[in-house]
Chain A
Amino acid sequence: MRKIVYILFFMVAAVNAQTKMSIAESATLKAKVKAHAASVNTLLSDFTQYKHLDFLANDIETSGKLAFKSPNTVKWEYTRPFIYSVLFKNEKLFINDEGKKSNVDIGSNKMFKQLNSLIINSIKGDMFDDNEFDIVYFKKETNSEVHFSPKEDKFSKYIKTFHIIFNNEGHVVELKMIEPSDDYTRIVFSNRTINIALSDAIFTE
């Protein structure tokens, strides 16, 4: 019996490894992330994406490179296990699917516009909009984890919550998008470089 109590105690302790931040702590984090996000003119990072579907034996792992140029040009390029890229540029979405090119005019499409700004904000980590999201802050060892739950039904139908993990410097190291079904997409960033000159060639459609 005593053993069970110990086990339960340790389980509770383990769950509590992620603790809620105080108001002061969350304000500090927010200020740090916002200051960092504002200073980013260019960003280059590798990423690995894990698509988790509850019924699969393994997550579907894809990886590639992400490039961002202020104010709103972004390229997601998958290189493994297939070649595929999406480029948001000048209110257009350019797709290159293993050499097959197409584009979508997003100027008139509210959903794509939202998606574009969401991607940019999530890369930088600056999603602290209390009108759009219910926001909860956690401490996780040396990192911070913030949960953003969309308030709008139209949005929360697709993504229930975004979890963003920030390192000590306020950089995004991981982004997790959880669907209402609890399946999720987890993106882990690595080899991140900020404000180096990026050639225009990266952003040619």
Chain B
Amino acid sequence: MRYLLSSLCLLFVACGSYSKKQNLQIEKASTRSIQNLYFSDTSKDYVYKANIAIYDNDFSGIFIVKKIGEANHRIVFTTEMGNKIFDFSFINDTFKVNFILEDMDKAILINILKHDFKALIQEEIPVVTSYSLQDTLVYETTILNKKHFYFKTQQLDKIIRVGNGKEKVTFLFSEINDTIANQIRILHSNIKLNINLKSICMSVNNHNP
């Protein structure tokens, strides 16, 4: 009987909401929306050296994000030698695969990448509830029907996607300079998929031929 009680207790804790588990305090002055400005400048080419580890496969290459217009982003991943691995478009709420290497053309994988990159580039996100945790402001939001928590100190440092009260994916933004996150990590806790992005400083006198 005691076992049953403690297991019920554990079950209760396990199913508790993410905000309760993290001791997040509800903020009275609520914010209507939060901004992620890391890919918000149409005049910038966002270029990163990338490592993507999927199960036991490591892909390294160049990860490019371009804001083409309002709510219009292009995301391309190529090898160092320039061969495209994937090429996606996010326009408003539509998602399009422009190209993907045959070996990676799997609906499950594409769906995961779609959710990850949508959260990465989404600029204006309506806030459901605002919380605080010591010096950090935490905003609960919904992206593609999934619950996301945005953590903000001086700037946006972290996004966590939550499912069943548990952390599923963590987005970490660091080495932030102005509105550029020079280091970005996307870490999945339930599948073996990690993405590491390191900003490449392109020379200014780079011309198109």
Contact = CB atoms under 8 A, between A and B. Distances in A.
Co-assembled chains A and B: yes
Interface of A: 49-53, 55-62, 76, 78, 81-82, 84, 86, 95, 97, 102, 158, 177, 179, 181, 183, 185-186
Contact of A53 (B44, B58, B64, B206): B64
Contact of A84 (B45, B60, B203): B60
A56 B66 contact: yes
Instruction: Please name the 3 residue pairs, one residue from A and one from B, whose CB atoms are nearest each other, closest first.
Output: A185-B82, A58-B206, A51-B82
Interface of B: 43-45, 47, 49, 51, 58, 60, 62, 64, 66, 68, 74, 76, 78, 80-84, 87, 98-99, 200-203, 206-209
A contact face: mostly helix, strand, loop, or mixed: strand
Given A55-B66, A55-B74, A56-B64, A97 B209 contact: no
Task: Specify which of B68, B80, B84 lies most central, judged by the most chain A CB atoms within 10 Å of its CB.
Answer: B80
Nearest to B203: A61
Contact of A55 (B68, B201, B203): B68
27 contacts: A49-B81, A49-B82, A51-B78, A53-B64, A53-B66, A55-B68, A55-B74, A56-B64, A58-B207, A58-B208, A59-B208, A60-B47, A60-B202, A76-B81, A81-B201, A81-B202, A81-B203, A82-B49, A82-B200, A158-B84, A177-B82, A179-B84, A181-B98, A181-B99, A185-B81, A185-B83, A186-B209
B contact face: mostly helix, strand, loop, or mixed: strand
A132 to B, nearest CB: 18
A183 B66 CA distance: 15
Contacts of B76: 53
Nearest to B47: A60
Nearest to B60: A97
Nearest to B204: A58
Contacts of B209: 50, 59, 186
B55 to A, nearest CB: 15
B80 A78 contact: yes
B62 A60 contact: yes
Given A60-B200, A179-B84, 8 more contacts: A52-B208, A53-B64, A58-B45, A58-B208, A59-B206, A86-B81, A177-B82, A181-B99
A185 B80 CA distance: 11
Contact of B80 (A57, A59, A84): A84
A151 to B, nearest CB: 19
A97 B50 CA distance: 10
Contacts of A81: 200-203
A55 B43 CA distance: 11
Contacts of B84: 158, 179, 183
Given A81-B200, A181-B99, A97 B66 contact: no
A57 B99 CA distance: 21
B43 A57 contact: yes
Contacts of A179: 84
